[in-house]
Amino acid sequence: MPFCHSCGAEVNEKAVVCVKCGVALSPAGAGGQVGPVSDKEWLVALLLCIFLGGFGIHRFYTGHIGIGVVQLLTLGGCGIWTLIDLIMIITGGLKDAQGRALKKS
């Protein structure tokens, strides 16, 4: 049973807030990231975007198959779409197909 980092009270391991003091709890094992975290690796998506981004391979990896196909056919929107995706991956704006943040390990 984990403990609240703020007041030290015992909290349920699935709890998102401490019922005693009301502070938000970071999910266990998520490395301090807030919100649901993808099983896809952030670093893998970044490398795929850098080396194979023109073929939309990073989009296939994150589960956006439809966007991946379009990027493959348009060669990453002539590279512009790939560049935008690359910036979004670096800034953490690119989520997986379920809307979860990519895992940083």
Task: List residues binding Zn ion (CB under 5 A).
Answer: 4, 6-7, 9, 18, 20-21
Minimum distance from residue 13 beta carbon to Zn ion (Å): 14
Residue 104: name the closest of 26, 35, 38, 28 by CA. Answer: 38
Cβ-based nearer residue to Zn ion, 14 or 39: 14
Minimum distance from residue 28 beta carbon to Zn ion (Å): 15
Cβ-based nearer residue to Zn ion, 15 or 83: 15
Structure tokens given for 4: 């609240």
Minimum distance from residue 61 beta carbon to Zn ion (Å): 38
Task: Quote the CA–CA distance of 68 and 65 in Å, as a whole number.
Answer: 5
Task: Quote the CA–CA distance of 5 and 25 in Å, as a whole number.
Answer: 8
Task: Quote the CA–CA distance of 30 and 3 in Å, as a whole number.
Answer: 16
Cβ-based nearer residue to Zn ion, 3 or 51: 3
